Amino acid sequence: MFASKQDIPNIIKVCVTGPECTGKSELSQFLSEHYKTNWVPEYARNYLNKLIHGYHQSDLTKIAHGQIRMEEEWIHDSNRIIICDTNLLTIKIWSEFKYGNCDQEILRIIANRTYHLYLLCNIDLPWENDPQREHPDKREQLWSIYKEEVIKTGVPFVEINGERAARRAAAIKAIDALL
């Protein structure tokens, strides 16, 4: 259904990830402007905004499909790199955290995706309320889970910490090292 590792063009894929409210979207958008390339926004936000009921575990698989469709659509028009504001690792973490397991289809898709760098955003930014954010009291726990999951991928990663300027500089330095 989705492109395999061999079908994806020779574009460096950078995933900006981390727990809720860690500046991922702002950093992703900045990086896409800096490198004059595409960024793939978080599909879940728009999907959840359109629901007339709370979300269920089955919605996570639909969100996963939407995220990958957007990534595959934008990668072909990208300029050497593509910035992904999250990926299916976030859906896996969220599913396991909230429901205790993850749909095998999501796990299969994750196994067939390639990323070249993770920018792991730390929880050192202040919490901002948002109807889609669920766990302001579990940030430390979620940070540990994200870090562990990113390490397990074997993909290089850089922790993104500090205020906006420091985060941007660390992200640029990490991406420039790949280019």
Tell me the residue type at 79.
Answer: N
Percent of the chain with pLDDT over 90: 78
Taking only the tens place, the pLDDT of each residue in 45-79 is: 889 888 877 889 999 999 999 999 999 999 999 99
Calculate what percentage of the chain has a pLDDT beyond 70: 91
Does the pLDDT at position 8 exceed 60? no
Handedness of CA 172, 38, 90, 139 (dihedral sign): positive
CATH annotation of 11-178? 3.40.50.300
Domain range annotation of the chain: 11-178
| Tens digits of residue pLDDT in 140-152 | 999 999 999 999 9
d(CA 146, CA 92) in angstroms, rounded, equals 10
Report whether 55 contacts 48 (CB < 8 A).
yes
Spatial strand order in the sheet of 81-85:
39-40, 81-85, 12-17, 117-121, 157-160
Answer yes or no: are the C-beta atoms of 30 and 132 closer than 8 Å: no
Angle value at C-alpha 120, between 114 and 122, nearest 5 degrees: 165
Whether residue 4 has pLDDT greater than 50: no
